[in-house]
């Protein structure tokens, strides 16, 4: 089953919630329906990699002169297309640094495993994929 990138993005946006973020409990109040991608980059990048393969990218994010404030994950699909469904969580004052490829642990995510699994179930259901493990497909 092929889906457009717009359909995939909409499935993620509908699936995001406070319960799928990778925010620390003290930062959770920063998540809201008005900024639904906030704290979603890790789980989103992993689920997108489940769907399409490719590289998992990681970069430091700085918020001005204060130095590194966080990290950010996104994807580079086969063929070189970079897809960052959560970039809009950052204000214009934030700078996302140069990405580096990170290798996903074979056993799956070490942190925020339940958030990743919940997001994966929601996105796969929205795309009509059930819980398939063999879904690496090309973006239409």
Q: Where are the domains of the chain?
A: 5-126
The answer to whether the pTM exceeds 0.85 is yes
> pLDDT of 28-52, one tens digit each?
777 888 889 999 999 999 999 999 9
pLDDT tens for the 140 residues of the chain, in order = 578 889 999 999 999 999 999 887 777 777 888 889 999 999 999 999 999 999 999 998 887 666 657 889 999 999 999 999 999 888 777 888 899 999 988 887 878 899 999 999 999 999 998 765 545 444 44
Tokens standing for residue 133: 């493990």
């Amino acid at each position: 089953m092929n889906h457009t990138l717009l359909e995939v993005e909409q499935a993620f946006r509908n699936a995001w919630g406070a319960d799928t973020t990778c925010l620390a409990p003290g930062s959770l109040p920063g998540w809201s329906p008005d900024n639904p991608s906030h704290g979603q980059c890790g789980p989103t990048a992993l689920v997108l990699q489940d769907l399409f393969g490719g590289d998992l990218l990681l970069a430091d994010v700085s918020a001005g002169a204060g130095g590194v404030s966080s990290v950010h994950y996104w994807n580079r699909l086969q063929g070189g297309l970079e897809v960052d469904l959560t970039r809009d969580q950052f204000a214009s004052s934030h700078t996302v640094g140069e990405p580096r490829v990170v290798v996903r642990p074979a056993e799956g995510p070490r942190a925020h495993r339940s958030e990743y699994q919940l997001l994966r179930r929601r996105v796969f259901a929205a795309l009509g994929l059930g819980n398939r493990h063999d879904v690496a497909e090309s973006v239409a």
